Amino acid sequence: MDDLAAEPERNTFGATSVGVQMTLAERGRRIDPARTWTRGLGFLVIVVTLAACSWTNSFAGAGATDPAGAHQRAQAVVGAWAEAVAAVDAAPRVVPVGDLTGQRGDWEPAVGDNHKRALMAGLVLTDMPLPEATPPDGIVAWQDGTKTTVPLLSAQDALVAIGSTVSSPCLDCAPVMVTKPRLTSGPIETTRGAATAPIWEFSVQGSAVKVTRVAIANPVVVSPGGADSQLGLAIDAASGTVGGRELAVVFIGAPDPGDKPCGEDYTAEAVESELAVVVIVTRHPHPPGLLGGACSAVGARRTATATLAAALGDRAVLDLLTGTPVPVVVAP
């Protein structure tokens, strides 16, 4: 399963005035549901700059040094996911991954500084009445040809949703004024892989940029939680088959294997429920020499495979540390 992708660049647009964070905003990356996911999930080698580290704090000391704590956290994560699914009253047909609010186009210099921060803060308003009628069900189509219908938000509800999530407050921002909502479609990521889904698009007064919101009603949403990195490594993506019991995950780790200085090996273990799978990734670092020594502060894309007790099916794959779903490449 070497066709996995590290998590695509994330956007922190999902803004709100009531203090609920977007799913992966804490990672400081970007997701644009109308644009970014067009890159697909081809494997990317990720190189990240980290603080200079020694043997004892390589990769910020992340790793499952407390197996009991990791399992306790994993059980809490699958429990929170079950509660989030129950809150939408029915098993969801589609679970979007990442921020649901985004933009098409780049902000012009005259408005960019304000509008970028305002969108992240959920300061998106209109001075015109928006349609409150719920549109007919929309279609979500995956790359393998599978399709399903989903209930949709009205334009008014979509605007409320944009303003109901905040990734970064902005007390000195002027609001982004939008108009002319249009129901269109675009690429998104889901727990079953890349798909095309209905998206609301709003024009912005004084700008060519369009503000977007995934139009699926009642999405399953969990607030990102902060967990001790000593419990395990964060995962960025996963890959498996519907009927298979092997699940490969992608994460950032040491560039070299554990038989080399500064290298590390990794093992993966799954904690499962009927609705979700949480993968605990444990570090196995190369033993330090007697004199110790500094390691390169460079991380690289690594993979590990967990064996499942039951076939993956349509279950979500959740990150241990944040509790949020990750993109999954699912083969038949």
SS3 of the chain: the string is CCCCCCCCCCCCCCCECCCCCCCCHHHCCCCCCCCHHHHCCCCCCCCEECCCEEHHHHHHHCCCCCHHHHHHHHHHHHHHHHHHHHHCCCCCCCCECCCCEEEECCCCHHHHHHHHHHHHCCCEECCCCCCCCCCCCEEEEECCCCEEEECECCHHHHHHHHCECCCCCCCCCCCEEEEEEEEEEEEEEECCEEEEEEEEEEEECCCCCEEEEECECCCCCCCCCCCCHHHCCCCCEEEEECCCCEEEEEEEECCCCCCCCCCEEEEEEEEECCCEEEEEEEEEECCCCCCCCEECCEEEEEEEEEECCCCCCCCEEEECCCCCECCEEEEC
Rounded to two decimals, the pTM is: 0.75
Q: pLDDT digit string (tens) for 100-139?
A: 999 999 999 999 999 999 999 999 999 999 999 999 999 9
Q: What would the pLDDT profile of 228-276 be if each residue is shown by its tens digit?
A: 777 889 999 999 999 999 999 999 999 999 888 889 999 999 999 999 9
With respect to residue 162, please indicate whether it lies within any of the assigned structural domains: no
pLDDT of residue 89: 67
Cα–Cα dist 15/12, whole Å: 8
The residue type found at 14 is G
pLDDT, position 66: 79
Whether 11 contacts 102, CB under 8 Å: yes
Say which residue the tokens 């409320």 belong to. 160
Tell me, yes or no, whether 270 lies in a domain: yes
Assigned domain for 251 exists = yes
Q: Torsion angle, CA of 36/188/225/251, rounded to 10 degrees?
A: -60
Whole-angstrom Cα distance, residue 231 to residue 134? 44
The answer to whether residue 324 sits within a structural domain is yes
Asked if 197 and 146 count as a contact pair (C-beta separation under 8 A), the reply is: no
| 122, 15 contact by CB (below 8 A) | yes
Rg (CA), the chain: 21
Containing structural domain, residue 302: 49-90+223-331
Please check whether residue 58 lies inside any domain of the structure: yes
The answer to whether residue 19 sits within a structural domain is no
Count of domains observed in the chain:
1
Structure confidence at residue 293 (pLDDT): 65
Pairing of strands 276-285, 264-272: antiparallel
Nearest partner of 71 among 279, 303, 317, 310, judged by Cα: 279
User: Does residue 235 belong to any structural domain of this protein?
Assistant: yes
Neighbours of 113 (CB within 10 A): 11
112 phi, psi to nearest 5 deg: -60, -45
Contacts of residue 29, defined as CB under 8 A and 6 or more positions apart, other chains included, come to 7, 9, 10, 11, 12
Closest to 101 in 3D by CA, of 209, 261, 258, 232? 209
Is residue 65 situated within a structural domain?
yes
Mean pLDDT by 10 residues, the chain (332 residues): 39 31 34 40 34 38 67 94 86 86 95 94 94 95 92 96 85 95 95 94 97 94 78 93 95 91 93 96 78 75 97 94 92 80
Residues 6+ apart with CB under 8 A from 172: none
**pLDDT at res. 287:** 77
